[in-house]
Chain A
Amino acid sequence: NAGVTQTPKFQVLKTGQSMTLQCAQDMNHNSMYWYRQDPGMGLRLIYYSASEGTTDKGEVPNGYNVSRLNKREFSLRLESAAPSQTSVYFCASSGDSPNNPNTGELFFGEGSRLTVL
């Protein structure tokens, strides 16, 4: 059971370089999310996609772009990396059924550790 798969798991960038974090889920979920985790800051939402073809900003979107390529895949792009973007990035997905109290739970990938020098 793959669940949510993120690549790469580790990346070191120089300031100003660009890169894309890839995420894919095999649970047929409509919603996908990108979070970042920083020490003492918890998990903060960068962008989310409620369904294929739609994306919306979260709490900390500056410096990032996203693409919902299809229902399975949601990528996060850093166009010009900055040291402040050094973080662990988590992709997540969720099913959405308003009448099912057990949905709405997020399923997370294992994380991508990014260092910007």
Chain B
Amino acid sequence: DQQVKQNSPSLSVQEGRISILNCDYTNSMFDYFLWYKKYPAEGPTFLISISSIKDKNEDGRFTVFLNKSAKHLSLHIVPSQPGDSAVYFCAASWRRGGSNYKLTFGKGTLLTVNP
């Protein structure tokens, strides 16, 4: 059973507009969430994270929102740039459970930012 779900395989936005990528999870034990970005032929790179004790974390153009009651998080990119075009993976872990920070990943969303 998929514990981390990214239901949109792809998303296309115009440069300068907002990109919103969504992620849902089913395991209520997850307490730490991360977003990774992946370009073709490269390894994923860490983008931003949020602990379950927070509901928002910002880093420049990137903001992650967490809604624990809905088991939902989203990544907002404002403004979107063509260089943001990549696959975005949502990931979750159960840190308090001593899971050694094993991450469970979603299937990814391909973001295309059109000039």
Contact = CB atoms under 8 A, between A and B. Distances in A.
Interface of A: 4, 31, 33, 35, 40-45, 48, 50, 58, 90, 92, 94, 96, 98, 101-111
Contacts, number: 62
B89 A42 contact: yes
B102 A4 contact: no
A106 B42 CA distance: 14
A58 B101 CA distance: 12
Interface of B: 6, 9, 32, 34, 36, 41-46, 49, 51, 89, 91, 93, 95, 100-108
A90 B41 CA distance: 11
Contacts of A35: 105
A107 B46 CA distance: 7
A109 B32 contact: no
A40 B43 CA distance: 17
Contact of A110 (B32, B36, B41, B95): B41
Given A42-B89, A50-B100, A98-B95, 17 more contacts: A31-B101, A33-B102, A35-B105, A42-B106, A43-B91, A43-B105, A44-B105, A101-B49, A103-B101, A104-B101, A105-B46, A105-B49, A106-B46, A108-B43, A110-B41, A111-B42, A111-B43
A112 to B, nearest CB: 10
A43 B100 contact: no
Closest 4 CB pairs of A and B: A108-B43, A104-B101, A42-B107, A43-B105
